[in-house]
Amino acid sequence: MRAWEKNFRKVEPYVPGEQPKLDTMIKLNTNENPYPPAPGVLQAMKEFDVDKLRLYPDDKSDILVGALADYYQVDKNQVFVGVGSDDVLGMAFLSFFNSDKPILFPDITYSFYQVWANLYKIPYETPALDDSFRIKKEDYYKESGGVVLANPNAPTGIYEDLTFIEDILQHNQDVIVIVDEAYVDFGGKSAIELIDRYENLLVVQTFSKARSMAGMRIGYCIGNKDLIKVINDVKYSYNSYTMNQTSLYIGVEAVKDEAYFRENLAKIMEERERTIVELKKLGFTCTDSKTNFVFAKHKTAPAAELLEMLREQNIFVRNFASNPRISNYLRITVGTREEMDSLFTAIREYVM
C-alpha cells in the first residue's frame, strides 16, 4: 500500500442501471420515459444559438427557476435546480444533514441515499418496511438527524398519501424532511402543497421520468426560502455553474406543454395497469405501483434467471440481487405497448 492511500476517500459507489449500446433493444431497466420530450423541446433544440456556449451559463439558472416557480405557483426563492435530482439530493444531504444523530430512511428505498450518507459521513438508520413493503410511520417518530422518503417509493412503486407525509412532518418538526418525488406524476399527489405549512419540508423532483428528459439532467427541489438559501450556499461552495446553457433553455420548454405532459402520463399509467394484469396472468405478484415501473415477483421462476433470459433477447430489466428482501423481484419500466407485448411474449414462452 502506498503511503498516500490511507488518505483516500473510500466509498462504495451507487451502481446505475446499465446503458447498453445496442441499435435495437427494449430498454426497461432505468425508468426512462418511452416517449419523446415535448415538441417545444425539439424546436428549442433546433433553434438553440450555439454561440451561447462561449459564455458561462447563468449561475442562478434564472429562466428555469422562474419557469418552475410559475408552474408550481411559488416564489423563485423557493426553487433550486440541479444536474438531475441526484445532484439536488446529494446537495441536500450535504446541506441539511450535519448532525451527530442518525438520519432515517427505509431499508428498501433508492439505494443512492445510503451512498450519500456514507460519502458525507452522515450517520443513518434504515427502519425496515413491513412485509407488504409499506413504511411503518411509527419508526419515524423518534429523534433523528433528518428523514428521507421517496414517495412513491423505489423500487417498490408504493405511494403513501399526503396525510401520511403530514404525519411524518408532525413528528419531525426539528429536522429536515426530504420527500423525493421522482415518480409522483404517475398517480400520486405532490407534497409541494405542504411547503408553506412545514418550513422543514423539501420536495425533490426531476425532469428524467415524467418529462422524458433523463438525458438532459435536470432536477429541482422546492421548499421554504431559508432552506433554498442554505442549499444554494452549499452549491456555490462547490460548483457555481451547475446547469449548462442548453439545459436552461430546453428545460424551460419542457414545463410549458401541459397538454402533452398529461397525455404522455396517461398513456404510461394505462400501460402500467395493463402490464400488471398481464404479468399476473403469467404468474407474477406485483405491488400497487404509482410509478412508471412495476415491481414483480414470479411464483416459480427466479428473478435472476428471468433477467438473464430477457437479456439474451435484448430486453433489459432490473433486479436488486444484493438485497435479500427483494432479490427475487424484477423492476420493469413501463415502455410502449409494443415493447411490453414483446416482454410478455418472451416471459410467456419461458414460464408457460
The residues that touch ligand PMP, with contacts defined as CB under 6 A, are: 84-86, 110, 150, 154, 180, 182, 206, 208, 214, 219
Q: Please, what is the minimum distance in Å from the beta carbon of residue 216 to ligand PMP?
A: 9
Q: Please, what is the minimum distance in Å from the beta carbon of residue 293 to ligand PMP?
A: 9
Q: Judged by CB, which is closer to ligand PMP: 176, or 347?
A: 176
Q: Please, what is the minimum distance in Å from the beta carbon of residue 315 to ligand PMP?
A: 20
Cα–Cα dist 144/123, whole Å: 10
Which grid cell sits at 184? 409522483
Cα–Cα dist 249/148, whole Å: 31
Q: Judged by CB, which is closer to ligand PMP: 154, or 265?
A: 154
Q: Please, what is the minimum distance in Å from the beta carbon of residue 224 to ligand PMP?
A: 21
Q: Judged by CB, which is closer to ligand PMP: 87, or 271?
A: 87
Q: Judged by CB, which is closer to ligand PMP: 29, or 78?
A: 29
The runs of H, that is alpha helices, within 133-179 are 162-170
Number of neighbours of residue 154 by Cβ within 10 angstroms: 22
Q: Please, what is the minimum distance in Å from the beta carbon of residue 110 to ligand PMP?
A: 4
Q: Please, what is the minimum distance in Å from the beta carbon of residue 90 to ligand PMP?
A: 9
Q: Judged by CB, which is closer to ligand PMP: 29, or 342?
A: 29
Determine the residue with CB nearest ligand PMP.
84
Nearest Cα neighbor of 229 from 334, 76, 99 is 76
Residue type, 214: A
Question: How would you class 162 by CB atoms within 10 Å of its CB: exposed for 0-12, middle for 13-18, buried for 19 or more?
Answer: middle
Q: Judged by CB, which is closer to ligand PMP: 112, or 260?
A: 112
HEC states along 16-59? CCCCCCCCCCEECCCCCCCCCCCHHHHHHHHHCCHHHHHCCCCC
